[in-house]
């Protein structure tokens, strides 16, 4: 197993720059997840690591070796494709054995390795089947098996679960997490689904338009997003952004008036802020409550019931629509006026450039462990 | 119009179509079993049955040799054109290079030229290479003739194969040749059988080149040999022999088509290869 280092990686397709100088250190045995909206360059970055695309500029190291000019095979990587890309004319056994055969392993050796992978992935009864005789989940496991048998330095996954239905996706997600524990392998996993990213990753890399927005443990990104993009991308439903004005600046935070509300205090480093500045106040739906008391007032427009919780979509007095989460069944009714209460210990403040003012104070217990693990 | 009328009309149409497409073959078979005066009997039904024609064609000229020539030429054309077309289509479908689109369009337009347009140029080439009146002198022009179509079809087919399949093989450590041999060839079987069979039929029935580029009966292929069959006297047209020969050389083609018919259908509905 190995670490992977990206130094100033740039990729142009023709005259279009798709990856704008990415620096990243992937540690040995880490499961790192690239997440970002569709078309942001996740697959391209993964394929650059794989060696399926040429690097336009920058250096890539695997296990300390410069690999810019090396083929995927020489890089000793294995890749699981979104469409599985199983060889349709070969059965499950042959699919998994193909790479070993090409690298001239002995027949017994191939058999041992394939049987072992089949056992781990519970594919043993299916070895004789052709890919078209398998279900989506089984095909996915064969694709993973094909990667396992080659005992690669780095596993690369490109949205491996996006072709599966929701229930199977959760199950396979757990299997991949388990696989990572058992194999102690370095894994790079690409997804556009932030839930997958949060649940699987040791560290998440948030990509946007070919640039890294932030790298950190899932909880670090959740609690301390570096900018508005990360704040909005991580967490579901997404964070609410509300216009606010600075009414007071102190060492231990700033006081804000959120659309004309009484000042609320947010513990962020106030450097660069002055009274009267316009900022954006960010708060997640789960850190607000609705009721008869609260800093903001508005009107309930839509209610979504999930059973264990509910979401109220509330139109505020300035016309913006925010989402408020509550536990259990909703008591409010659509069309009613309501007050929204803010838990400002979990609020964020973003400047005009989209960057967050860094949060002050000690981290919460969860954040602390997460940061330590991620470090 | 009620149901019955509709189905009567439908089957009438079917019968008409079948008669038009099958009658010429039927008549050839019937004629091939007639001899002497019988040949001029206009009846469409079998009136006599003699197999004499089928033996006399082998006695009066080297027809066995002609068949062998046809087999050699057609088989060589199929093998040559498939080897060239598979490798060419890999490059055309999978590798980006300057002028690829132009090249593909050129290939397609070349395949639309009438054969007679390239006849004299081809004749000069064949003669200057010293291949006039020899089997290679037929194999090369026939290969050239079928290649554009074969390359075009295989390129289209290869384009449809998912790119990730090739990339998976690259990650597995396969060289381009291994990819073609172990991944693409097995998947392209149906397309190759279809194009190969069409190339075979084309070369088997090819007349113009075979007539122009040969001189002696020993290197002639079947279509020319049949056309140049002569009767006992200058004024007699050996209809019986001609029909018997035609029937005889159509049989292998029919057998080939029947053997490969399922593959042909699969090849014509190409691209249905999803992992
Ligand atoms: N081979 C290619 N040629 C040209 N543009 C490409 C190629 N591959 C990807 N792109 C472009 O690069 C951008 C990023 O693509 P991709 O990495 O696939 O995004 P993601 O996987 O994040 O959805 C897209 O705008 C896409 O159009
Ligand atoms: Mg992608």
At B71-91, the pLDDT tens digits run 999 999 999 999 999 999 989
Residues A157-215: pLDDT tens digits? 999 998 888 888 998 899 899 989 988 789 999 999 999 999 999 999 999 999 999 99
Residues B260 and B131 in one domain: yes
Residue A234 has pLDDT above 60, yes or no: yes
Out of A85, A131, A150, closest to residue B164 by CB: A85
Residue A356 structure tokens? 């967050």
Residue A372 has pLDDT above 50, yes or no: no
Residues B22-35: pLDDT tens digits? 998 888 888 888 87
pLDDT at res. A374: 39
Could you tell me which residue, B237 or A49, shows the higher pLDDT?
A49
Kindly state the average pLDDT of the residues B196-222.
91
Residues B37 and B71 in one domain: no
Residues B227 and B94 in one domain: yes
**Number of folded domains in chain B?**
2
Residues B107 and B199 in one domain: yes
Interface test with A, best of B94, B98, B168, B169 (most A CBs within 10 A): B168
Kindly state the average pLDDT of the residues A111-140.
93
Residues A9-22: pLDDT tens digits? 999 999 999 999 99
State the ligand closest to the CA atom of A35: 1
Residue B257 structure tokens? 């088509």
Contact B86, B154 (CB under 8 A): yes
CATH for B204? 1.10.3720.10
Kindly state the average pLDDT of the residues A110-128.
94
Q: Is residue B241 part of a domain?
A: yes
User: Is the CB of residue B271 less than 8 Å away from at least one CB of chain A?
Assistant: no
> Which of chain B's residues have a Cβ under 8 Å away from the Cβ of A50?
171
Instruction: Band the pLDDT of B275: cuts 50, 70, 90.
Output: very low
User: Is the CB of residue A85 less than 8 Å away from at least one CB of chain B?
Assistant: yes
Contact A67, A5 (CB under 8 A): no
User: Is the CB of residue B187 less than 8 Å away from at least one CB of chain A?
Assistant: yes
Instruction: Band the pLDDT of A362: cuts 50, 70, 90.
Output: low
State the ligand closest to the CA atom of A162: 2
Q: Is residue B146 part of a domain?
A: yes
Worst-scoring range by mean pLDDT, A306-310, B18-22, B34-38, B266-270? B266-270
Residues B2 and B84 in one domain: no
Residue A371 has pLDDT above 50, yes or no: no
pLDDT at res. B269: 55
Residues A47-106: pLDDT tens digits? 999 999 999 999 999 999 999 999 999 999 999 999 899 999 999 999 999 999 999 999
Q: Give me the residues paired with residue A249 across strands.
A: A254
- The Cα–Cα gap between A240 and A244 comes to 12
- Cα A28–Cα A31–Cα A35 angle in degrees, nearest 5: 130
CATH annotation of A232-358: 2.40.50.140
Single out the residue in B32, B50, B68 at which a domain terminates.
Answer: B50
Interface contact flag, A102 B172, Cβ < 8 Å:
yes
Residue B236 structure tokens? 């007699």
Pick the residue from chain B with its C-alpha nearest to A140. Answer: B275
Residues B146 and B229 in one domain: yes
Residue B179 structure tokens? 């990819």
Q: Would residue B5 be called left, alpha or beta, if left means φ above 0 and alpha means ψ between -120 and 50 degrees?
A: alpha
Domain of B44?
1-50
DSSP letters spanning A151-199: --SEEEEESTTTTS-HHHHHHHHHHHHHHHHHHT-EEEEEES-HHHHHH
Interface contact flag, B164 A103, Cβ < 8 Å:
no
DSSP letters spanning B45-65: S------HHHHHHHHHS-HHH
Task: Collect all residues with Cβ–Cβ distance below 8 Å to A189 and sequence separation of at least 6.
Answer: A31, A32, A33, A34, A157, A160, A176, A196, A200, A201
Interface contact flag, B171 A52, Cβ < 8 Å:
yes
Contact B194, B264 (CB under 8 A): yes
Instruction: Band the pLDDT of B193: cuts 50, 70, 90.
Output: confident
- The Cα–Cα gap between B145 and B199 comes to 9
pLDDT at res. A36: 94
Pairing label, strands A77-80, A4-13: unpaired
Residues A303-349: pLDDT tens digits? 999 999 999 999 999 899 999 999 999 888 899 999 999 999 999 99
Residues B4 and B95 in one domain: no
Residues B116 and B217 in one domain: yes
- Report chain A's mean pLDDT, rounded to a whole number: 91
DSSP letters spanning A83-102: T----TTS-HHHHHHHHHHH
Out of B168, B186, B274, closest to residue A81 by CB: B168
Contact B48, B38 (CB under 8 A): yes
Taking ligand 2, which is a single-atom ion, which protein residues have CB atoms under 5 Å away? A 43
Q: Residue A52 C-alpha to ligand 1 middle, in angstroms?
A: 13
DSSP state, residue B179: I
- The Cα–Cα gap between A5 and A60 comes to 6
CA distances from A85 to A82, A278, B163 (A): 8, 51, 9
Could you tell me which residue, B234 or A157, shows the higher pLDDT?
A157
Task: Collect all residues with Cβ–Cβ distance below 8 Å to B124 and sequence separation of at least 6.
Answer: none
Task: Collect all residues with Cβ–Cβ distance below 8 Å to A128 and sequence separation of at least 6.
Answer: A91, A92, A93
pLDDT at res. A259: 87
Q: Give me the residues paired with residue A266 across strands.
A: A254
DSSP state, residue A127: T
pLDDT at res. B259: 86
Residues B133 and B169 in one domain: yes
Using omega within 30 degrees of 0 as the cis cutoff, is the peptide bond preceding B77 cis?
A: no
Task: For a ligand 1 pocket test, name from A33, A38, A41 the mutation site with the most ligand atoms within 8 angstroms of its C-beta.
Answer: A41
Query: Inter-axis angle of helices A166-183 and A136-148, to 10 degrees?
Result: 20
Classify domain A4-231 at the CATH class level: alpha beta
Kindly state the average pLDDT of the residues A110-136.
93
pLDDT at res. B260: 83
Residue B110 has pLDDT above 50, yes or no: yes
> Which of chain B's residues have a Cβ under 8 Å away from the Cβ of A82?
164
Residues B230 and B133 in one domain: yes
The position carrying tokens 């979990």 is A346
Q: Is residue B274 part of a domain?
A: no
Residue B228 has pLDDT above 90, yes or no: no
CA distance A339 to chain B (A): 53
Interface contact flag, B182 A98, Cβ < 8 Å:
yes
- The Cα–Cα gap between A365 and A362 comes to 9
Residues B6 and B63 in one domain: no
pLDDT at res. B86: 92
User: Is the CB of residue A86 less than 8 Å away from at least one CB of chain B?
Assistant: yes
The position carrying tokens 């790119």 is B163
Worst-scoring range by mean pLDDT, B66-70, B172-176, B257-261? B257-261
Single out the residue in B25, B50, B75 at which a domain terminates.
Answer: B50
Pick the residue from chain B with its C-alpha nearest to A51. Answer: B171
Residues at CB less than 6 angstroms from ligand 1: A 13, 18, 36, 38-44
Helix, strand, or coil (residue A64):
coil
pLDDT at res. B94: 86
Ligand 1 atom 24: residue of nearest CA: A39
| In chain A, domain spans | 4-231, 232-358
Residue A1 has pLDDT above 70, yes or no: no
Residue A370 has pLDDT above 70, yes or no: no
Instruction: Band the pLDDT of B267: cuts 50, 70, 90.
Output: low
Q: Is residue B275 part of a domain?
A: no
Out of A71, A88, A150, closest to residue B187 by CB: A88
Task: Collect all residues with Cβ–Cβ distance below 8 Å to A30 and sequence separation of at least 6.
Answer: A3, A186, A187, A202, A203
Give strand ranges (E) for chain A.
4-13, 16-26, 31-35, 57-62, 65-66, 77-80, 154-158, 186-191, 203-208, 211-216, 240-250, 253-258, 264-266, 278-283, 288-291, 296-305, 309-316, 321-327, 337-342, 348-350
Residue A373 structure tokens? 């693990």
> Which of chain B's residues have a Cβ under 8 Å away from the Cβ of A131?
275
Q: Residue A41 C-alpha to ligand 1 middle, in angstroms?
A: 6
């Amino acid at each position: 197993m190995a670490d992977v280092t990206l130094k100033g990686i740039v990729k142009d397709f023709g005259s279009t720059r798709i990856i704008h100088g990415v620096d990243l250190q992937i540690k040995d045995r880490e499961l790192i997840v690239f997440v970002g909206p569709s078309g942001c360059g996740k697959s391209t970055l993964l394929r650059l690591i794989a060696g399926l695309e040429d690097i336009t500029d920058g250096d890539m190291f695997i296990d300390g070796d410069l690999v810019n000019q090396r083929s995927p095979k020489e890089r000793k990587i294995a890749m699981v494709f979104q469409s599985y890309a199983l060889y349709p004319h070969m059965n499950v056994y042959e699919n998994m054995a193909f790479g070993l055969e090409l690298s001239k392993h002995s027949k017994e050796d191939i058999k041992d390795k394939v049987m072992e992978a089949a056992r781990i992935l519970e594919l043993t009864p299916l070895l004789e089947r052709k890919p078209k005789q398998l279900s989506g989940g089984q095909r996915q496991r064969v694709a993973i098996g094909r990667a396992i048998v080659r005992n690669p330095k780095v596993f690369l996954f490109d949205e491996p679960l996006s072709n599966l239905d929701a229930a199977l996706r959760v199950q396979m997600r757990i299997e991949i997490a388990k696989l990572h524990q058992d194999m102690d392998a370095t894994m790079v996993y690409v997804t556009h689904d932030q839930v997958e990213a949060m649940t699987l990753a040791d560290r998440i890399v948030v990509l946007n338009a070919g640039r890294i927005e932030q790298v950190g443990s899932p909880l670090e990104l959740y609690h301390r997003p570096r900018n508005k993009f990360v704040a909005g991308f991580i967490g579901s439903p997404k964070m609410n952004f509300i216009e606010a004005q600075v009414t007071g600046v102190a060492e231990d935070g700033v006081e804000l008036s959120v659309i004309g509300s009484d000042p609320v205090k947010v513990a962020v480093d106030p450097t660069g802020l002055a009274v009267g500045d316009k900022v954006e106040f960010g708060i997640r739906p789960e850190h607000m409550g609705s009721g008869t008391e609260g800093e903001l007032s508005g009107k309930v427009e839509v209610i979504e019931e999930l059973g264990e919780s509910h979401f109220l979509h509330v139109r505020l007095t300035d016309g913006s629509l925010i989402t408020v989460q509550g536990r259990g069944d909703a008591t409010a009714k659509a069309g009613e006026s309501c007050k929204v209460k803010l838990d400002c210990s979990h609020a964020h403040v973003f400047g005009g450039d989209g960057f967050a003012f860094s949060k002050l104070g000690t981290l919460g217990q969860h954040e602390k462990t997460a940061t330590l693990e991620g470090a | 119009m009620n149901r019955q009328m509709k189905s009567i009309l439908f089957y009438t149409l079917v019968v008409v179509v079948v008669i038009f497409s099958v009658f010429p073959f039927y008549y050839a078979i019937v004629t091939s079993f007639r001899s002497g005066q019988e040949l001029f009997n206009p009846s469409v039904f079998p009136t006599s049955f003699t197999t004499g024609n089928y033996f006399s064609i082998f006695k009066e000229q080297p027809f066995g040799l002609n068949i062998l020539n046809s087999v050699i030429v057609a088989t060589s054309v199929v093998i040559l054109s498939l080897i060239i077309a598979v490798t060419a289509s890999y490059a055309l479908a999978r590798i980006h290079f300057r002028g690829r689109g132009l090249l593909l369009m050129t290939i397609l337009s070349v395949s639309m030229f009438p054969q007679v347009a390239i006849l004299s140029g081809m004749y000069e080439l064949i003669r200057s290479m010293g291949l006039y009146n020899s089997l290679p002198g037929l194999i090369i022009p026939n290969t050239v003739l079928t290649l554009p179509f074969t390359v075009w079809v295989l390129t289209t087919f290869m384009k449809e194969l998912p790119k990730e399949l090739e990339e998976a093989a690259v990650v597995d450590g396969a060289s381009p040749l291994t990819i073609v041999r172990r991944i693409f060839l097995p998947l392209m079987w149906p397309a190759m059988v279809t194009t190969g069979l069409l190339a075979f039929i084309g070369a088997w029935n090819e007349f113009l080149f075979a007539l122009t580029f040969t001189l002696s009966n020993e290197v002639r292929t079947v279509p020319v040999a049949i056309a140049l069959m002569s009767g006992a006297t200058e004024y007699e047209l050996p209809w019986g022999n001609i029909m018997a020969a035609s029937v005889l050389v159509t049989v292998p083609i029919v057998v080939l088509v029947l053997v490969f018919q399922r593959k042909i259908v699969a090849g014509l509905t190409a691209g249905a290869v999803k992992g």
